[in-house]
């Protein structure tokens, strides 16, 4: 096993927790872990998008390591550890824009400060939930909203929740207009990018932006 210290994880922009991220020495290609995610697009009373409510479920092995480490901290309950962990995740992901890109039409969106978030243990999985607000609410009627959520270095693969090898009905939800069409588009990376990722050893990072080529796209079409 190879142990990744918190300092190393923070330095690479992939720090999601306090403690070690253990990676099997048998793994010779990216990614080395995964997150199952679901997204709820939040709208206000006039139908403008105000933010994305995201739920990230860490993979079972990663979750097990974290839970064991949190339970070993003297004088700290699991709940207290999870509270601290939630703050660490929020702080570490803020400079990375929460691994999220959002476009409405052709316009990239900027984000406000994340103030609503929590880390919890659910069904044996470490789960991080947060609301990522848009800097300014944006009208959705007649528009197409698209988002991607990805680790830029593709160390961690981020995919929407699945059922029977298809995106789950809960993977993408829209508050409000029922006439909008929702879809999750699979990634279609260039074979060269696939080879580039496969050649990365366990102690190597991908080039900045590599993860974008492997990202699914959530789409809300309200035209």
* pLDDT tens sequence across 83-125: 999 999 999 999 999 999 999 998 999 999 999 999 999 998 9
pLDDT score of 19: 33
How far is Cα 21 from Cα 149, in angstroms, rounded to an integer?
21
Q: What is the dihedral of CA 100, 125, 29, 2, to 10 degrees?
A: 120
pLDDT score of 6: 39
pLDDT score of 204: 52
Closest CA to 122 of 52, 218, 55: 55
Residue 197's pLDDT band (cuts 50, 70, 90): low
Render pLDDT for 62-89 as a digit per residue (tens, 0 to 9).
899 888 888 888 888 888 999 999 999 9
Which secondary structure element, helix H or strand E, spans residue 48, and what is its range?
strand 48-58
Q: Alpha carbon of 22 to those of 31, 105, 130, 155, 202: distances in Å?
A: 13, 40, 25, 13, 11
SS3 content of the chain, % helix, strand, coil (to 5): 25, 40, 40
CATH code, domain carrying 119: 2.70.170
3-class state of residue 53 by DSSP: strand
How many domains would you assign to the chain?
1
How far is Cα 43 from Cα 188, in angstroms, rounded to an integer?
30
Closest CA to 134 of 106, 92, 88, 100: 100
Q: What range does the domain containing 178 cover?
A: 2-221
pLDDT score of 28: 39
**8 has a pLDDT exceeding 90:** no
User: How is residue 55 written in tokens?
Assistant: 């739920």
Sorted by sequence, the CB contacts under 8 Å of residue 66 that are 6+ apart come out as: 17, 19, 58, 85, 126
pLDDT score of 18: 35
pLDDT score of 211: 75
Sorted by sequence, the CB contacts under 8 Å of residue 107 that are 6+ apart come out as: none
- Is pLDDT larger for residue 196 or for residue 68? 68
Q: What is the dihedral of CA 129, 134, 138, 144, to 10 degrees?
A: -60
Q: What is the mean pLDDT of residues 49-54?
A: 98
3-class state of residue 90 by DSSP: helix
pLDDT score of 5: 33
User: How is residue 164 written in tokens?
Assistant: 């029977």
Confidence (pTM): 0.81
**2 has a pLDDT exceeding 70:** no
pLDDT score of 198: 59
CB atoms inside a 10 Å sphere around CB 45: 6
**60 has a pLDDT exceeding 80:** yes
Q: Is there a contact between 128 and 122 (Cβ–Cβ < 8 Å)?
A: no
User: How is residue 149 written in tokens?
Assistant: 């959520």
Token pair 């290609």: residue: 29
């Amino acid at each position: 096993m190879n142990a990744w210290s918190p300092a190393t994880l923070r330095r690479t922009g992939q720090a999601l927790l306090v403690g070690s991220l253990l990676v099997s020495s048998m793994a010779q290609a990216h990614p080395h872990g995964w997150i199952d995610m679901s997204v709820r697009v939040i709208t206000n009373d006039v139908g403008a998008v105000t933010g994305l409510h995201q739920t990230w479920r860490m993979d079972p092995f990663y979750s097990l390591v974290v839970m064991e480490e949190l339970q070993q901290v003297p004088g700290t309950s699991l709940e207290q550890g999870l509270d601290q962990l939630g703050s660490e995740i929020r702080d570490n992901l803020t400079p990375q824009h929460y691994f999220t890109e959002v476009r409405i039409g052709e316009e990239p969106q900027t984000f406000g400060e994340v103030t609503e978030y929590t880390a919890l243990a659910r069904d044996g999985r470490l789960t991080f939930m947060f609301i990522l607000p848009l800097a300014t609410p944006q009208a959705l009627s007649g528009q197409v909203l698209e988002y991607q959520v990805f680790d830029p270095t593709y160390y961690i693969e981020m995919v929407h929740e699945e059922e029977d090898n298809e995106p789950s009905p809960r993977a993408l939800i829209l508050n409000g207009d029922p006439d909008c069409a929702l879809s999750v588009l699979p990634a279609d990376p260039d074979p060269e990018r696939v080879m580039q990722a496969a050649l990365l050893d366990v102690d190597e990072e991908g080039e900045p932006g590599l993860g974008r080529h492997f990202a699914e796209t959530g789409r809300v079409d309200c035209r």
